[in-house]
Amino acid sequence: MKKVTVLALVAFCAVGILFTSCDSKKSAKLNTTLDSVSYAIGYIQGGGFKDAMSGLPGPELSYGKLLAGFEASFYGEDNKMQITPEEAQQLINDYFVRIQDEEASASKAEGDAFLSENKTKPGVITTESGLQYKVEVEGTGARPTREDQIRAHYRGTLLDGTEFDSSYGRGEPLTIGVTQVIPGWTEGLLIMPVGSKYTFWIPGELAYGERGAGEFIKPNSTLIFEVELLEIVK
């Protein structure tokens, strides 16, 4: 679970609110340089706050309630506090862990359904581990071993077609050890002769599992990779 990441985002949001909410009930007239700088900081931080909020899992939070809670704490208005700090921390932890568990379950169900249908398509081979692949171009070179380094071009997408990584986009192939990648990649590379281009469908347990990765790859996500094995690096 990404509890630490989630709480870091919430902390960042609080910083954003510090600059955007404290004078929310006051006039925005800019009478002095300090007024203008304060307003400018709030304006800039407001955009960052909005971006951070959009990165949180689950449905959109209630901004009104969020601001009310922040102001009660910031101004020390004990009579307006409806929960204790300890209760607040536990609520945050429990809520985001539950949301992430729900998203992970949904991602796994979506991936399982996709793979179940995909394995019936012409040319798709399913290995014992659950990895699926299709030979787009079969090379004639050697196959790498677990001890080798390789150079490869690749493109990674989600099931909905969202591209999350691409060596083609960077204009430079990846050079990496065969065992320094996700398990689905390692298994796939070991069956590819140099000069080949394969498409891999990698179930979540052979990809980033329950932790997910980055902004786009949710826990238990099934991933699609187009991989072109260029050479074994000596």
Report the catalytic residues. Answer: 154, 164-165, 182, 208, 225
CA angle, residues 58, 63, 68, in degrees to nearest 5: 130
Is the Cβ–Cβ distance between 207 and 157 less than 8 Å? no
Q: What angle, rounded to 10 degrees, do the helices at 85-118 and 3-20 form?
A: 120
C-alpha to C-alpha distance for 88 and 52, rounded to whole angstroms: 20
Partners of residue 202 on adjacent β-strands: 223
**How many beta carbons lie within 10 A of that of residue 16, not counting itself?**
22
Which tokens is 80 given?
């307006």
Look at the alpha carbons of 184, 189, 192, 197 in this order and tell me if their dihedral is positive or negative: positive
